[in-house]
Structures are given as structure tokens and as C-alpha cells.
């Protein structure tokens, strides 16, 4: 990993399933979100990412034992994605959790409640010094379509970029051609994109969530569509038909030459 890079890995959705009319029960989540560098001065680049104690599997178990599908949402047939943003501070504490994308019916409050209740993480580190990191966790609430009693459904494995996050970071950095007008304006920040990973691992349906302008948004979308196929998500050992992940693509002009090409260190 380049020591001054923090190219965002996909944020993994948390799926909560229920059958309308049933009593709320525990739902099974997918693995957690990934960290991303905030473009403001409050956050520093991390060369060691924050980690939930025990890893992704431990976080899956924790959330699955705490989250509930709200009765109001079940009664009203509400389903969709709640995007929860939170900070893992220098001590590993989860702070400032809030719902950025809401669906109502008590789902927003439930997603935030569970995130706030998480135990301390291992904090991110930069040159051996703990630093803050901001996360976004998509929590997906879905209602079962069959007539069976509500039951937990577990997304066993979420989509994964081939080679993992470090390889994706390297690919994004080297594939980006920094827009000339962005270089001239010294435009810097993160472009956030939601994509769908199909059961064959193909990247589809890219949607801009947060842009920074000066051609960076279009370039980020272009590069995301050029990514190789991912390892698809799995449910009960079979490829999941479609899973939404979030990719954060940072733009740092000091890493690129005058032609907008990535400097190989």
C-alpha cells in the first residue's frame, strides 16, 4: 500500500430480512463497512486501517444479535437502505453515528442504535500514531416475499475485489487520469460511488453519491467501470444476484504529474 494513499474499499451492505406480519426477530448481517479518509483537516491518512475487534466475522455476530426489524416498518411494508455514517476515533470509540440516507418506519433509528452500541475498534494508525477514520455503513432492510415465517437470512460473503483492498487501491490510483482543470484548480477530495456487483462479479449500475467537480466525478465513474470482475457475494454458498457496494475514490493532485498520470513511487 502506498503510504500516502487511502483509496476507499467498497462499503459492504448489511441486509436485514423480515416477513410482514411476523414478530420482530434477530436478523443476520453481512460484513462491515470499510474506512475512508475524510477530505477535511480533522482526519489524517491512515496506513493501518481501523478494525473491529475479532474482525469481520465478529462484527457479523455482534450485529446479528442486536439488530431488529422495526414493527412499524414491517406493518407498513417499508424496506430499503439506511446509510449510517460514523467515526472511529483515536481511542477506537464509535462516535457521531447518524443516518445520511433514511427510509423511515424506525429503520433509521434502529440502524444508528446498533452502530452506536458497537464495542471499541482497534483505531487506525498513521506512522504509529492513532488517527480518526470516517465510515459509511449501508444497512439494507428487506421484507421476505414468500409466505414463510420470518427467519434470519445471512449474506455469508460480500463481494470482494480480486486481491483485496490493497490491490483495488493500487488499481484505482494507476487507472485515474487526473483531469487537467482539476490539476489547475488543485481540486482535492473524494468521489463516492455506489455500484452493483452482479452474480458474475461484473460492476454495473454505478451511481454518483458525492462529487467534487472539475471532471473528477466523471473520471471516477469511468475508472470504476473499467475495474475487473469482483468475486461476487454469496448466500448459502451460491453467488448473490446483486449486492450494492460503495467505493470512495480520493483525488490527490500531488500524486500525479502534469499530464495527470499517476507517479509510480
Q: Which CATH number belongs to the domain containing residue 115 in this structure? A: 3.30.2420.10
The whole-angstrom separation of Cα 179 and Cα 255 is 13
pLDDT by residue, tens only, the chain of 265 residues = 322 222 233 344 455 555 444 433 333 344 444 444 443 345 556 677 788 888 877 776 777 667 788 888 888 888 888 888 899 999 999 999 999 999 999 999 989 998 988 888 989 888 889 998 888 887 878 876 554 333 434 456 788 999 988 899 889 989 999 999 999 999 998 888 888 899 999 999 898 878 899 999 999 999 999 999 999 988 778 888 777 787 889 899 988 888 888 876 4
Query: What is the pLDDT, as a whole number, of residue 226?
Result: 96
Assess whether 143 and 17 both reside in one domain. Answer: yes
Instruction: Give the end of a domain, one of 92, 126, 147.
Output: 147
Q: Under a CB-based contact definition with an 8 Å cutoff, are residues 144 and 17 in contact?
A: yes
The whole-angstrom separation of Cα 191 and Cα 249 is 5
Assess whether 68 and 177 both reside in one domain. Answer: no
Separation of first and last alpha carbons in the chain: 11
Query: What is the pLDDT, as a whole number, of residue 43?
Result: 57
What's 22's DSSP letter? S
Assess whether 127 and 162 both reside in one domain. Answer: no
Assess whether 123 and 201 both reside in one domain. Answer: no
User: Is 0.85 topped by the overall pTM?
Assistant: no
Assess whether 133 and 49 both reside in one domain. Answer: yes
Assess whether 252 and 232 both reside in one domain. Answer: yes
Question: Which domain range does residue 134 map to?
Answer: 1-147
How many angstroms from the chain centroid is the CA of residue 137? 5
Assess whether 169 and 253 both reside in one domain. Answer: yes
Q: Which residues contact 67 (CB under 8 A, 6 or more apart)?
A: 14, 16, 26, 27, 29, 110, 111, 114, 139
Instruction: Give the end of a domain, one of 147, 180, 197.
Output: 147
Query: What is the pLDDT, as a whole number, of residue 15?
Result: 52
Q: In what order do the strands lie in the sheet with 242-251?
A: 203-210, 189-198, 242-251
Alpha carbon of 195 to those of 69, 91, 98, 198, 246: distances in Å? Answer: 25, 32, 22, 10, 6
Assess whether 4 and 88 both reside in one domain. Answer: yes
Query: What is the pLDDT, as a whole number, of residue 6?
Result: 25
Number of structural domains, the chain? 2
Q: Which residues contact 254 (CB under 8 A, 6 or more apart)?
A: none
Amino acid at each position: 500500500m502506498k503510504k500516502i494513499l487511502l483509496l476507499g474499499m467498497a462499503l459492504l451492505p448489511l441486509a436485514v430480512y423480515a416477513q410482514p406480519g411476523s414478530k420482530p426477530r434477530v436478523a443476520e448481517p453481512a460484513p462491515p463497512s470499510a474506512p475512508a479518509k475524510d477530505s477535511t483537516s480533522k482526519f489524517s491518512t491512515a496506513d493501518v486501517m481501523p478494525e473491529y475487534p475479532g474482525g469481520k466475522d465478529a462484527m457479523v455476530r455482534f450485529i446479528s444479535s442486536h439488530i431488529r426489524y422495526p414493527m412499524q416498518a414491517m406493518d407498513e411494508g417499508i424496506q430499503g437502505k439506511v446509510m449510517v455514517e460514523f467515526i472511529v476515533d483515536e481511542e477506537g470509540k464509535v462516535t457521531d453515528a447518524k443516518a445520511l440516507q433514511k427510509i423511515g418506519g424506525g429503520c433509521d433509528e434502529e440502524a444508528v442504535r446498533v452502530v452506536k452500541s458497537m464495542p471499541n475498534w482497534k483505531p487506525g494508525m498513521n506512522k504509529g500514531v492513532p488517527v480518526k477514520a470516517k465510515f459509511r455503513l449501508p444497512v439494507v432492510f428487506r421484507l421476505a416475499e414468500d409466505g414463510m415465517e420470518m427467519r434470519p437470512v445471512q449474506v455469508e460473503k460480500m463481494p470482494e475485489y480480486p486481491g483485496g483492498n490493497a490491490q483495488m487501491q493500487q488499481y484505482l490510483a494507476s487507472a485515474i487520469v487526473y483531469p487537467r482543470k482539476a490539476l489547475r484548480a488543485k481540486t482535492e477530495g473524494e468521489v463516492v460511488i455506489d455500484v452493483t456487483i452482479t452474480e458474475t462479479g461484473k460492476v454495473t449500475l454505478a451511481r454518483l453519491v458525492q462529487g467534487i467537480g472539475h471532471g473528477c466525478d466523471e473520471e471516477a465513474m469511468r475508472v470504476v467501470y473499467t475495474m475487473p470482475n469482483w468475486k461476487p457475494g454469496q448466500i448459502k454458498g451460491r453467488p448473490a444476484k446483486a449486492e450494492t457496494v460503495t467505493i470512495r475514490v480520493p483525488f490527490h493532485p500531488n500524486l500525479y504529474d502534469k499530464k495527470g498520470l499517476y507517479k509510480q513511487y
